[in-house]
Structure 1
Amino acid sequence: MSKKLERYAAIGDDYPVPQTMQALVLSGVGMDNLRLQEVRVPQCGPNQLLARVDAVSACASDNKVIDQGSRHSLMYGWDVSLYPVIIGHEGSVTLMKVGENLKGKYHVGDRFAVQPAIPSGPYHYRERYVNQARGINKVAIGYTLSGLFSEYVLITEEVLDTGCLLPLPDEKIPYAGAALAEPLSCVIAAQERIVHVVWDRGATRRQAQLGPKREGTTLIIGAGPMGLMHVEVAMSYHPKEILIIPYSGRPIPSLWWRSYPNPNYYKSLLMEKIIQ
């Protein structure tokens, strides 16, 4: 670890928090209304946390809220022209300030990944939602809750009460790696929901199983970041082959797991084929 990174990671109660920060603010529909602005660092209440954003990644869902604004299903009528929002929902954070009622449970310097989809109605600013937020049972970070394309973020009660602030199991996990927890969870969930039928020829009944078929063929459409994550997860099922089709529509030749049992060799071969 470099000296600069060591200083960055060394968080204490005396770590200076500025009064203002840079944030990516959406104040209307379309890219013309998305601007990097200097805004005030939020103050945390007694049941809230203030966190430094260590890493954040862009998602196609960010484009949707930019293009749709208040019409996005997770905005529930929130008028971004009146109440601009900070976008960004895939990230990792370090706690900088702990609300009075949370001291002892959370500590300055604790690191977390963020689960952005919050299974709760909003606790604050209910008057900004359609029908005073009645009937809303899901909100999201980077939509009506402060997002992660900012230097600091307020972690509100909804996030904490639903367990959506996830402590890192290992402090060695890099900041950017922790920020990918959300898209990786989408990949894992998608593959766990694959259904295929297994038929043992010696038996009379077919059985439905979840997950990619072992010793089968796995097809992955798209060779971008999510596609490569799908390759990583699919390898854990030990398929006979993985076929990747990039957006160009030209298939990458099949990669045979049996022929290359060493995962590192397998991944290097995959990257070579994608580059080609």
Structure 2
Amino acid sequence: MRVTFQELFDLCRKVLDSCGLPDGCREDCAELITWSECVGYGGMKVLCEDIDRLKAREIHQIDYRDVTEELIEVEGAGFPDYVLAKISLDLVESQISYRPQTVHGVIRSSRPTTLLCYEAVRIAKRGKGGLVHWKEGGESWWAFAFPGDAHPIVMSGEAVHDSLPACHHITEESYDYILQATTERKDLKKAVNSILDNETFDRLISYEEHEHVWNESRREGALVDKGQWKILSEEAKNVLVESSERSRLFGTGDQAR
């Protein structure tokens, strides 16, 4: 079956509301999941698998600490990667606002998936150069995005790391994934272009590939699995009145008393 971006986004947002995610967090997570489904990364399948895990946890269980001005560590308490990425980015953004620099967010106690690559775009939307790194299936993966980019460039390969500026080198030995935001966009952009020109990667999913699939999904509707849609629709029924400023004003929604 095919659905529009808005239909898919609204459904994901309601499911995340039902699972107890706070306002703002569920919006960003729904955007990430919807994008990943539209470009073929299977966001709906991931969300279906995560429903019970989300319900069993509360945001306050997530712990973090500022190790240095350039490094923040986040202990994820088993939350899905897309939830922790949203929270980690807010922490990194807060840190980088004090002075121009490259800030690393190191996330542990999570399960990284390819959905993470969209987080580079979310970093770019805040005017920074975005980098996300994770390992999946024994491969080292990287996603990059810059202001104005609607999609990331995604590549795999250990050699990618050695081609990056020193401020982006990863020294941590234990992590599930890492996101970086930098005000030094030109240096990172130059390095990414060099990696592409010299083909210093193992596998590449280009901006253009994402754009082609995305445009097709927006034009024809995203092709989704009926069984997964049914699971998410049943979960969404638990949200009798979706939380909003208006619903809270009238005593309904998740802040009702």
Q: State if a TM-score over 0.5 links the two structures.
A: no
Q: Which has the higher contact order (CA 8 A, sep 6+)?
A: 2
Q: Higher helix share goes to which structure?
A: 2
Whichever of the two has the greater Rg, that structure is 1
TM-score (norm 1): 0.25
Q: Higher strand share goes to which structure?
A: 1
TM-score (norm 2): 0.26
